[in-house]
Amino acid sequence: MIEEKFAAAVSQVNTAMAELAGLMTDPDALPFPVIRPHLERLEDSSADKAAVDAAFSWCAELHEAGRIVGSSRTEDYLVGKLDLSRTEARSRLRQARALYAPPPPPPPPDDTDPDADRAAQARRAEREAAAQRDARQQKASAAKRAVIDQELEKISPHAQPGRTEILAQALAEAASRSVEDLRAWVREQVRRANAAARLPNGKKDHLAPYRKRSVSFSAPDPDGGVRFHGYLPAEQAAVVKAALDPMLNRVEEKDGVHLRQRRADLLVQRCAAGGDKGRYGSGSVVVSMTVDDIKNMTPHSLFPTNTGDLLDPFALVRLGAAQFDFFAVHDEQGRVIDVGRGSRTANFYQRIALFAQELVCTHPGCDRPLNDCQVHHLTPWGQDGATDLDNLALLCWGHHRDNCDSRDGRGGFGHAARDPESGRSGFQAAGCPDIEFNDTMAQQRSAGAKIRGRRSRDV
C-alpha cells in the first residue's frame, strides 16, 4: 500500500512538472499577469519538497544507502543516485540529522567532575527534543533551510540555547523574513548562544576557538588562482603573524608590490622550508608532463600538480621549476616503470611515479589529487603484497576506507584492481566482473592518460 501511494504521488508530480515545463518553452509569448499567481503558488511547494528531501535523506541514512553504491557514506548515495553536488548532499544530511536524529542522552555521572550540573543537562536535552518536534512541523524553502544550515555550522556544542532550539526558532522566523534577513537573524542568535556557552560544570569553554581551527582551499578559478580562508585561535594566529611580521617594517608599497603581496610571498617561503622530507619532500610540488608536452609548450599550456592545481610555464618559472628534479618514465600503456620496492610505506619516488601515472584517486568519478590520497596495496601488505608500483594505486581516504581487501564483496563493497590487459588501476564493484576506470577531466590530465590517448589514436 505504501509503495502504491508513493508511486502514484511521484508520478503525479513528474507528470505535472513535465507538462508545466512544456508550457514554459516560449516565455516570450506567455501572459505574465495571468501566470504570475500560479507560479508564485508553485514556489510555495518548494518548502514541501525541502521537507521531503530532509526526511528521505534521514531514511537513507537509517538504511545505510551508501552500500547501494559500494560506500559506507550516505552522501555518496545522494551524489551518485540523486545527482547532487557534495555540498548539497552534506547539507541535506545535516538538516536530516538535526530534524530526526535522537538527541544524545545526558552524560552519566562523572566523579572526576563533581561540579557538573546533571539536572541542567537533562533539562537541556528535554528542550532540544521538544524543539526538534516543533522544527519538523515548520515549513521553509530549500534556500532558507540552506541558509539556516550554513549559519548553524558555526554554533558551539555547548551553546545556550543549543543548535536544535535555534533551528526551530529559525524555521518559525523563515515565514516572515527574506533569505538574507534570515541569515542575519540566525547569525545573531548563534553569536549570542556561543557567548553564553558553558561546559557541563558551568565554566566557560576556553578551548572553543581551538576546536574551530581550520584552513580550506577553493578549486582553481578561471585564472588558475586559489582562494583560501581559515580560522585560527589566538595563539596560532600569533605564530603565523610573527612569521610574516618582518615585512611590517618595510614600506607599504615598493616597486609596485603591495604589503599583502609580500606577505603572500613570505608565507610560501616559510611553507617551502618545512615538511616531511622523507616521504613527501619539503614543500614539494610535483609537475606531470610528457615529452610532447615539453616540445609543444606554449604560454597557455597547463600542467597538473600533486596538489590538484594547474600551472602554466610562467608559474613553473616563478616556482623555480625550470630545472627538473624528478622524471617518470612511462611504457607504451602509460604506466611508470618500477622505481622502488621492499617497504610497506611507499617512498617519495614511488608517490611521484603514481602521481605521474594516475594523477588523482583511481576510483571512478573521483578527482581528489595526490596530496588528498593514500597509497593503496592492491594485494594487501598483510597478504604478502609487495610495495611495488605494479601493486600500488592511489585512493583518497574515503575510497580507501571503503575498499574491501578480502575482495569477496562483503557489505556491498568493491575493491581496487588492476586490469591485466591495459595495466590500469580501477574499481571492481561487488559481484561485477568488469573493472571501471576513472576518466574524469582531472585524470585525463595525467601523463599516463595522454600517452594512452596518443597510442589509441595511432592504432
**Shortest CA distance to 315 belongs to which of 325, 326, 306, 304?**
304
Residue 66: what pLDDT?
Answer: 93
Instruction: Say which DSSP state 105 is in.
Output: P
**In which region does residue 358 sit, left (phi positive, over 0), alpha (psi from -120 to 50) or beta (all else)?**
alpha
Helix axes 86-100, 142-152, angle to 10 degrees: 80
**Shortest CA distance to 75 belongs to which of 60, 55, 63?**
60
Give dist(CA 137, CA 52) in Å, integer.
12
**Shortest CA distance to 89 belongs to which of 57, 115, 127?**
57
Residue 396: what pLDDT?
Answer: 92
Give backbone dihedrals phi and psi of 344, rounded to 5 degrees, phi first: -65, -40
Which residues lie closer than 8 Å to 308 by C-beta, 6 or more apart?
220, 360, 367, 368, 369, 370, 371, 372, 442
CB-count exposure of residue 250 (10 Å: 0-12, 13-18, 19+): exposed
Residue 445: what pLDDT?
Answer: 85
Please state, in angstroms and as integers, the Cα–Cα distance from residue 51 to each residue in 29, 46, 57, following that order: 34, 9, 10
Helix runs in 153-221, H state only: 163-173, 179-195, 208-211
6 is written with which cell numbers? 508513493
Q: Are 392 and 354 in contact (CB under 8 A)?
A: yes
**Shortest CA distance to 443 belongs to which of 225, 288, 213?**
288
**Shortest CA distance to 127 belongs to which of 89, 64, 169, 190?**
169
Residues of the chain with pLDDT under 70: 104-116, 245-258, 272-284, 291, 295, 317-346, 455-459
Cis bond upstream, residue 161 (ω within 30):
yes
Which residues lie closer than 8 Å to 375 by C-beta, 6 or more apart?
345, 346, 350, 351, 354, 392, 393, 394
Q: pTM of this prediction?
A: 0.70
Euclidean distance between the first and the last CA atom of the chain, given in angstroms as a whole number: 57
Please state, in angstroms and as integers, the Cα–Cα distance from residue 294 to each residue in 332, 431, 455, following that order: 18, 43, 18
332 is written with which cell numbers? 607504451
Q: How many CB atoms lie within 10 A of CB 409?
A: 16
Q: Are 352 and 286 in contact (CB under 8 A)?
A: yes
Helix axes 259-272, 234-244, angle to 10 degrees: 100
Residue 217 three-state SS:
strand
